[in-house]
Structures are given as C-alpha cells and as structure tokens.
Amino acid sequence: MSKDHPFELRHEVTRLNKQLEDISIALRKGDFKDLVENYTDWKRRIISNFTAGVARGLGLSVGTVVVIALLTWIASVMASLGVPYVSDFFDYMGSLIQQGRNGGA
C-alpha cells in the first residue's frame, strides 16, 4: 500500500489530530494565554518585572542577613568555647579596637 491510500491517510490525520490535541492541552496547562498577554501588554510587563526585581532584592537582603547572623553566632560560640585560632583572632581584633579607641598608640 502506498502512502496515498485513503486508509493510510486517515491514520496519519488521526495521529496528527492527536498530536494537536496534546499540544493544545499542554498550552492550556501552561497558561499560554496569560504568557502572551504579559508579553504583549507593556504596562503589565513593566509591573511584573518591577515586582520580580523587588522580590529578588528583598530575598537577597534577607538571605544575606540570615547567613551573616548565622556565621557571627557560630564564631561567637567558638570564641566562647576557647577554640584556639578563633579565640586568638577575636582577642587580636579586640586589642586592635582598643588601640584605635586609645588614639592608635
């Protein structure tokens, strides 16, 4: 049978219709309409990008504060336990601060 036979063409059309239906379902699940509206409406795109930028900035700031606070807490615990290098480092830093307060002498 050749590809031009009606029976073969019908199966090919059925297969292509199934693929189109799968694509249609995927686009509906992915909110493709909303995506297209966001990229065609410039006001909506600006607001969306601004909001995303603010959220990223706040997330970065909060994350940095949490990491620095955690590292500071760990260092203070290690210094209070008398861990050799950490305690020596904080003693040295404390003496430098005292020298600075006393006029650098």
Q: With respect to residue 11, please indicate whether it lies within any of the assigned structural domains.
A: no
Task: Say if 8 falls within a structural domain.
Answer: no
Per-residue pLDDT tens digits for 15-52? 999 999 988 887 777 777 777 777 788 888 899 899 99
Residue 18 lies in a domain: no
Q: Is residue 20 part of a domain?
A: no
Could you tell me if residue 22 is inside a domain?
no
Q: Quick one: pLDDT at residue 2?
A: 52
| Residue 1 neighbours by CB under 8 Å, 6+ apart | 7, 8
User: Average pLDDT for residues 58-70, to the nearest whole number?
Assistant: 98
Which residue segment(s) compose the domain that 50 sits in? 31-101
User: Does 19 reside within a domain?
Assistant: no
Q: Which has more pLDDT, 81 or 1?
A: 81
Task: Report how many domains make up the chain.
Answer: 1
Q: How far is CA 21 from CA 10, 31, 45, 85, 87, in A?
A: 16, 16, 30, 67, 68
